[in-house]
Every structure is written in structure tokens, then in C-alpha cells.
């Protein structure tokens, strides 16, 4: 059945005359490289290339992510395509641009995220620690009994991991204290928790933005409008935080609105990141 479908698609591409490609390269949990290829063409109904008798001269555009395998200057996919068809139009995936824009964090926020990853890696990969932590959460009647793995390749996992740790911060603190872990005290520090709450807030909305931009019938114009609206939100949030209004960031609001006034000094970290994030989105999304 799959071979028959492949033959029909190849025949339709040949008949259409022109086609464009969209590619993404990543690695799975076994660390094996995976290549995902989408081909768009005009057919009667609304890959392969040389092996199947298609011509690169007919390919007029290629959209990829930012992996070195795609954008390498000499051996990258786009470079190889340009060698056989210099006229092909190369574009960068808008969803991947969002990822690039959100990567840059201040040293303070990045330090907190590294602490979180270290905490997760202490509990989750260890069968014994994971089982003991799960049992403790069950005995406490917690909403969740497990932390989530973080994967730098699966960048959407970042917000989910941070959110789970934040929601389970009481359970994590108890467990780390029992194990006499060096980072146990972090979970009792309001300043550290604020710097955990803020990226949790921001990566949660970034995940939602990504979901809104995915799926069928999401045109380029639709995605650009979503990005434009999000950039306007970033500017609005920055202005509100500067005025002491924190309701737009619910987890951060728990600390900035109710905790000791000395925490207000940490607002500058949030304002700085919102400004930098807005600038990065201007660079990558235009």
C-alpha cells in the first residue's frame, strides 16, 4: 500500500511541473537522525527527486529548519541544492525561528534552568530515586507523581519541564532535603523561585503560540499575524512589569505581588528578558 501511494505521489509531482520542499532534521530518543520532508505541488487533487526521475530545475523553493545538516555552508542540504539549482528560493521555517528567538536567556535565568535540569536529572533517570519520589508524592496525595524529562532537541519540553517542577516544588524540596542534595535550599528561596516562575510563564505562552501556528490550513499570512500579535504582547507585558503590574504573568505574579518588597528588584531581570525577546523576534520573524 505504501509503495502504491509513493508511486501516485511521484507521478503527480512529475505531472505538476513545479514543486517546493520543506525539510526538518532532528534526532529521536535513540539518537538516530531523522529527516522529515514535505513536498508541495500543484496537482489535480488538493520525496525522492533524482532517484524517482524528478528534476531539481523544477524545484523553485525549499524551506528548512536551522540545523547544521540543513544550513551548512558546504555540505548542508541548502548548499547542495544551490549547487544544482542556483535559482531556488531558500526560506527559514517560521516555527523554528520562534525557537531561535526564545533561546537567549540572561545568565541569571539560564542558571536557574540549569539548576532545574540538574534536579530533574537527579530524580528522573535514577530508577530508585524516581520510584521513591513517586511513592512520596502518592503518599502526600499530590496531583502529579512524576517529573518530566528535559530534551534540548525537543525544545517545547522546556516549558513543560519548568512548569512541572514549579507545581511540584514542595514535593521536590522535601525529597531533595531527605537526600541532602546541594540544591535543596533553592526551593525555599523566593528570588530563585521567581526566576523559575518567570521562564515557566514565558515558555508556557511560547508553547501555546507554537500550537496556534501549527496544523492544516495555517497560511504564511496567518502565522505572521500571530507573530505580530505576540510581539505586541511582549511590549505590553514589558510596560506593565515596569509599572509593577504583573497579572499577565500568573506564576511570577505570585511572588512579585505578594512577597517581600525586596523582590521588586528582580523585576529588572524580567524586563530585560522581555525586551531582549522582543528584539530577537524582530530579527527572526521580521
Q: Select from 139, 141, 146 the least CA-distant residue to 161.
A: 146
Per the CB < 8 A criterion, the answer to whether 233 and 104 are in contact is no
Q: What is the per-residue pLDDT across 119-156, written as a single tens digit (0 to 9) for each?
A: 999 998 888 999 999 999 999 999 999 998 876 655 56
Reply yes or no on whether the pLDDT at 118 is more than 80.
Answer: yes
Q: Count up the domains in the chain and report the number.
A: 2
**What's the mean pLDDT in 199-222?**
80
Q: Residue 266 sits in which domain range?
A: 101-285
Q: Model's pTM, two decimal places?
A: 0.68
- C-alpha cell, 165: 517542577
Asked if residue 157 and residue 273 are part of one domain, the reply reads yes
Answer with the one of 92, 116, 135 that is the final residue of a domain. Answer: 92
Q: Which residue has the higher pLDDT, 264 or 283?
A: 283
State mean pLDDT over 104-121. 88
Q: In terms of domains, do 86 and 132 share one?
A: no
Q: What is the pLDDT of residues 12-25, one digit of tens each?
A: 888 887 888 887 77
Do residues 132 and 226 both lie within one domain? yes
**Pick from 92, 110, 134: which residue ends a domain?**
92
More confident residue, 84 or 182: 182
Please choose, from the candidates 104, 46, 52, the residue with its C-alpha nearest in 3D space to the C-alpha of residue 280.
104
Indicate whether 103 pLDDT > 90.
no
The pLDDT, as a whole number, for residue 286 is 55
Amino acid at each position: 500500500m505504501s509503495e502504491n501511494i509513493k508511486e501516485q505521489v511521484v507521478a503527480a509531482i512529475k505531472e505538476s511541473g513545479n514543486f517546493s520542499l520543506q525539510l526538518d532534521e532532528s534526532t529521536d530518543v535513540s539518537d538516530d537522525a531523522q529527516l522529515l520532508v514535505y513536498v508541495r505541488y500543484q496537482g489535480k487533487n488538493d520525496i525522492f527527486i533524482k532517484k524517482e526521475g524528478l528534476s531539481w530545475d523544477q524545484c523553485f523553493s525549499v524551506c528548512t529548519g536551522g540545523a547544521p545538516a540543513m544550513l551548512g555552508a558546504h555540505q548542508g542540504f541548502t548548499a547542495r541544492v544551490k549547487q544544482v539549482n542556483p535559482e531556488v528560493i531558500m526560506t527559514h521555517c517560521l516555527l523554528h525561528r520562534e525557537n531561535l528567538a526564545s533561546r537567549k536567556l540572561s545568565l541569571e535565568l539560564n542558571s536557574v534552568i540549569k539548576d532545574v535540569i540538574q534536579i530533574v536529572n537527579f530524580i528522573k533517570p535514577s530508577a530508585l530515586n524516581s520510584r521513591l519520589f513517586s511513592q512520596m508524592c502518592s503518599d502526600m496525595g499530590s496531583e502529579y507523581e512524576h517529573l518530566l524529562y528535559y530534551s534540548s532537541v525537543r525544545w517545547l519540553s522546556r516549558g513543560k519541564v519548568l512548569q512541572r517542577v514549579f507545581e511540584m516544588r514542595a514535593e521536590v524540596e522535601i525529597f531533595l532535603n531527605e537526600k541532602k542534595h546541594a540544591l535543596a535550599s533553592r526551593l525555599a528561596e523566593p528570588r530563585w523561585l521567581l526566576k523559575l516562575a518567570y521562564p515557566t510563564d514565558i515558555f508556557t505562552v511560547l508553547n501555546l503560540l507554537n500550537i496556534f501556528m501549527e496544523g492544516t490550513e495555517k497560511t504564511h499570512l496567518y502565522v505572521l499575524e500571530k507573530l505580530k500579535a505576540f510581539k505586541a504582547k511582549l511590549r505590553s507585558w514589558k510596560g506593565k512589569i515596569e509599572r509593577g503590574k504583573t497579572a499577565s504573568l500568573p506564576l511570577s505574579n505570585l511572588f512579585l505581588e505578594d512577597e517581600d518588597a525586596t523582590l521588586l528588584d528582580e523585576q529588572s531581570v524580567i524586563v530585560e528578558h522581555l525586551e531582549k525577546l522582543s528584539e530577537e523576534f524582530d530579527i527572526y520573524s521580521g
